[in-house]
Structure 1
């Protein structure tokens, strides 16, 4: 007689994150009675410890929150923008190219992506503090315990860390992320062996300096980061090393509170962040795809990939031309999200017309991270945060790395993405919440540079069009088209690849089975929580009974 299966208790709350340490930290907060916002904050702080080249308190982010008890629904945009001294022609005479996927420009000497001149205003701490002020339940200081503990006791180098440390970005014209670990003396001391080698799988990394910084933040709040002792240390390091960031840039920063962008797709309401975030790209793609009977095509067939990839190219081209900081550039969302425009785009695709998205050069970043949470009261919080690319700059004695987000601005004067004082960069980050009949049914987001919006799109249509569960939808093979090249996962068949190439497309096969951003999400259909974590990352989903 077989032993009966033991059923897990039904989850009343859930969190999913790209790192197990972060997921566990958030779950602990949920068990202690914290809100979804509390849990996301605790997880995000841990992410900055255990994924130091992807995110941290020196970075930026976008937090999307819905609270059914009050109807409160907002996005906090934490992109700090260019320092006030930035000029649109500051590196115009040193442009070496652009990445193939459109995530960043290459400047001779790497000043826009490495070192003190590459740093934009870090906005993530203000986002977390503002969110806690509005919807936190537990004391601010309690949310730092796991991150402080991980910093002091150490964390184990995971497979994803090793990939980030060792991946070859030089072949695309960009510095290797691992090279950023050795830019400062503190970086070499914390992250490299005595012989200068990268830490290996299973090694333990301790960062007591970061633990002290987090204690200061836990006690002093965001005030100390933007106007207190931490800000003074950042500014002193900038002044000593020719950085652009000033005390005024830090002290004047406030996150933008946005009304979420919203569109309808097959009876579901998709909501996400406004420009300069990536929600507009996902919304535009859904509007066009609603004109097609996707289920009438075989999933990931050649024709399916042709249709969806052409939609990706249209949205990418429109993003390049229109989506930037709306305080500087009109994003033209009324036109891009209109029925008339979606109809016209769909007709072009049906006629076999192709959209070209030329690039100056090639490359493919893997930065950023994500965490989503639903608490027992139904509050939903979804956060994507990042360093953009890591600058390599660790302010002496603080233990955290600053962002290198200047690399994504266009160094050509007069472009939508050109440098300007206070201007925010376009970001593909799109923490999203989907509703049916006024109730949330799914939340998701991803790390992965310009692949983020394209990966989130595919998970959404996998769930809504193909009826997949959230984990199946995330694990299904993906493809991306952010330029004239079409990139496909290694799990898409070679027969399909040959059919696409016979249509005249240039296809590049990824050696990875799971590729193109790392989606994490939670579905809530019929009140049942199901979590999904992308297999290419080391993360997990945890349900709390």
Structure 2
């Protein structure tokens, strides 16, 4: 085997820290500080963790619109204090009138983003109206609020509406994300008008430290205002549904009104994965939850219970082996209820998807992941609503005759892995963003806090590896020389720094509770991510 290094200053990387916070009040952890503040404000106003989650979900769709939004999908783990843990699935699905003939295979090559499927002519399954799947996010959030919410729906959308009226501030990170997708955004007139200048350049011309450049989101503000008054069902069976379907059909999508009308999220009994005295609750299907269970089963069979404290070379080798075995099983044995993903290397793409976690002072918890799939989704904007649209069709294999071949009405398999961890008086709401890199990150974070007894702060700062189905193992360059050497002897290994762009590792976000004290932490390298306490 081999070990390769990418040039990096590992000594500086080792000093990068974003300390966890703790409080006897509630804590909100998200990938955007303003969204975390909004969640904390809801808690201060008397809302519970689920009220805060509603507000945070819509706020994130405005503050980092390339990661997620109302026209996306996701799943959540809901853990009321003293009550059973439940999973809520609200993933995307293919339109009923989808025609596989719309996705002819190119003569050669692979898809241009995230998954190494055979390339489709014109990347029709990646960008544009034919890449758009039926969304679930609004239904998921609405269903959560119907059951657990205590504050009025319209009050919880008010912060996102205010953010939209201000417009999204374009700082260096936003400019970088827009630039990374400028070519795709230029293909759709409405997306280009929203995010680009002259339909070509990111909105950064003349940008200085004193400038206040913003993306105009007045159309989104109007959409959210309507949704706040009409209720979430309007998105699927009302005026908003009619506008969304009309926009999609005008652009060439096969979406019909019945696709939205018939969409339903699903409450599910989660997997309860027993692991060395603890319990990890995970989503049971169409996510990475089953593969997490398989990973832990392989680990227990091959690796003795480790000593507490920082992991060593033997631990990283065991993690790599268990993840490899679980991915092989996923790829070889996936069937009708959990479709297969491709097995080649996943590219180090820009960060996409967002995860957030909330715990309130009473101990109610939520772990939620929402996504448009790719950064900026399909790079298509609905002109009537201002919303970016997902590209969920990219989750399907365009080659016919396979378990995950694209087809009408099929549900999309997601890579997401929100979990609730319980171990010796500790409860953690945990998840990550980062496509196929999510599962390795969530697995390692959970093991660091259970098997190794690390607190949330130490766990989020501990170097990780990525083993997400490809031939190459990626190791954090901040790992010690003996760990890197051991990995290099066993696997084709490349040492790279943790970074937000390109994304070599996923971006975990979590809250934890022990003995009435709550804590929160986020991935250190994500520029906007931060945990905020209620008090």
Q: TM-score normalised to the size of structure 2?
A: 0.86
1:500 matched to 2:487? The reply is yes
1:228 pairs with one of 228, 235, 238: 238
Tell me the SS of whatever aligns to 2:532: strand
Q: Distance in 1 between matches of 2:366 and 2:286?
A: 20
1:182 Cα deviation from its structure 2 partner: 2.7
Q: 1:425 to 1:366 in 2, by over 3 A?
A: same
- Cα distance, 1:416 vs. partner? 2.1
Contact 1:276 1:325 in 2 (8 A): no
- Verify: 1:30 aligned to 2:43, yes or no: yes
CA shift in 2, pair 1:283/1:199, >3 Å:
farther
Corresponding residue number in structure 2 for 1:181: 185
Which of 528, 532, 535 lines up with 2:521 in the alignment? Answer: 532
Structure 1 contact 265–286 (Cα < 8 Å) conserved: yes
Q: Distance in 1 between matches of 2:146 and 2:42?
A: 16
CA distance in 1, matches of 2:49, 2:343: 41
Q: In the alignment, is residue 481 of structure 1 matched against residue 493 of structure 2?
A: no
- Is residue 2:438 matched to residue 1:452? yes
Structure 2 match to 1:251: 261
> Which residue of 1 is the match for residue 448 of structure 2?
462
- 1:361–1:308: structure 2 CA closer, same or farther, 3 Å change rule? closer
Q: Structure 2 CA distance, aligned partners of 1:115 and 1:102? A: 17
Which residue of 160, 185, 192 maps to 2:196? Answer: 192
* Cα-Cα RMSD: 2.7
Secondary structure of 2:393's counterpart equals helix
| Partner secondary structure for residue 295 of structure 1 | coil
When residues 194 and 98 of structure 1 are mapped into structure 2, their CA distance, relative to the original with a 3 A threshold, is closer
Query: Which secondary structure state, in structure 1, belongs to the residue aligned with residue 515 of structure 2?
Result: helix
Q: Give 2:8's aligned residue.
A: none
Contact 1:89 1:412 in 2 (8 A): no
Aligned match of 2:178 = 165
Find the aligned partners of 2:356 and 2:456 in 1 and give their Cα distance: 15
Structure 1 contact 226–251 (Cα < 8 Å) conserved: yes
Residue of structure 2 equivalent to 1:311: 322
Aligned to 1:312, what secondary structure does the other structure show? helix
Correspondence 1:45 to 2:58: yes
Tell me, in whole angstroms, the C-alpha distance in 1 between the residues paired with 2:344 and 2:96.
Answer: 29
Q: In 2, are the aligned partners of 1:320 and 1:416 still within 8 Å (CA)?
A: no
Residue correspondence of structure 1 range 296-445 to structure 2 within 5 A:
301-323=312-334, 326=337, 358-359=343-344, 362=347, 364=349, 366-389=351-374, 390-436=377-423, 441-445=427-431
Aligned to 2:4: none
Counterpart CA distance in 2 for 1:99 and 1:191 is 21
Q: 1:66 touches 1:73 (CA, 8 Å); kept in 2?
A: yes
Query: 2:245 touches 2:255 (CA, 8 Å); kept in 1?
Result: yes
Confirm or deny: 8 A CA contact 2:112 2:119 kept in the other structure: yes
SS of corresponding position for 1:391? coil
Structure 2 matches for 1:73-222, cutoff 5 A?
73-87=85-99, 90-91=102-103, 93-94=105-106, 96-97=109-110, 102=115, 106-167=119-180, 177-194=181-198, 196-200=200-204, 203-222=213-232
Distance 1:42 1:122 in 2: 18
Which stretch shows the higher mean deviation, 401-410 or 475-484? 475-484
Secondary structure class of the residue paired with 1:529:
strand
| Corresponding residue for residue 59 of structure 1 | 72
Q: Can you list the C-alpha shifts for 1:259-294, whole angstroms capped at 9, x where unaligned?
A: 111111111110011110111122221222233136
Q: CA 1:188–1:12 in 2, change beyond 3 Å: closer, same or farther?
A: same
Q: Report Cα offsets for 1:305-332 as digits up to 9, x if no partner.
A: 3321121122222222344662x76x9x
1:144-192 CA deviation, whole Å, 9 max, x = no partner? Answer: 111111111123235543443344xxxxxxxxx3433333333222222
Offset at residue 78 of structure 1 (A): 0.8
Which deviates further from its counterpart, 410-419 or 142-151? Answer: 410-419
Structure 1 residues 421 and 15 mapped into 2: Cα distance closer, same or farther (>3 Å)? Answer: same
Q: Residue in 2 aligned with 1:341?
A: none
Counterparts of 1:147 and 1:322, CA distance in 2: 42
State whether residues 79 and 365 of structure 2, in contact with CA within 8 Å, keep that contact through their aligned partners in structure 1. yes
3-state SS, counterpart of residue 233 of structure 2:
helix
Distance across 1 between alignment mates of 2:368 and 2:183: 27
* Corresponding position: 1:263 with 2:257: no
Shift in alpha-carbon separation, 1:361–1:499, aligned structure 2, 3 A: closer
Q: 1:532 aligns to what SS in structure 2?
A: strand
Match of 1:96, SS state, is: strand
Q: How many angstroms apart in 2 are the aligned matches of 1:440 and 1:495?
A: 31
Aligned residues of 1:97 and 1:360 also touching (Cα < 8 A): no
Distance 1:77 1:60 in 2: 9
TM-superposed CA distance for 1:87, in Å, is: 4.6
User: Where does structure 2 lack aligned partners over 5 or more consecutive residues?
Assistant: 1-20
| 1:511 Cα offset (Å) | 4.3
TM-score by length of 1: 0.85
Question: Structure 2 CA distance, aligned partners of 1:470 and 1:315?
Answer: 26
Aligned to 1:347: none
Aligned to 1:337: none
Alpha-carbon distance in structure 2 between the residues aligned to 1:472 and 1:89? 50
Distance 1:313 1:99 in 2: 24
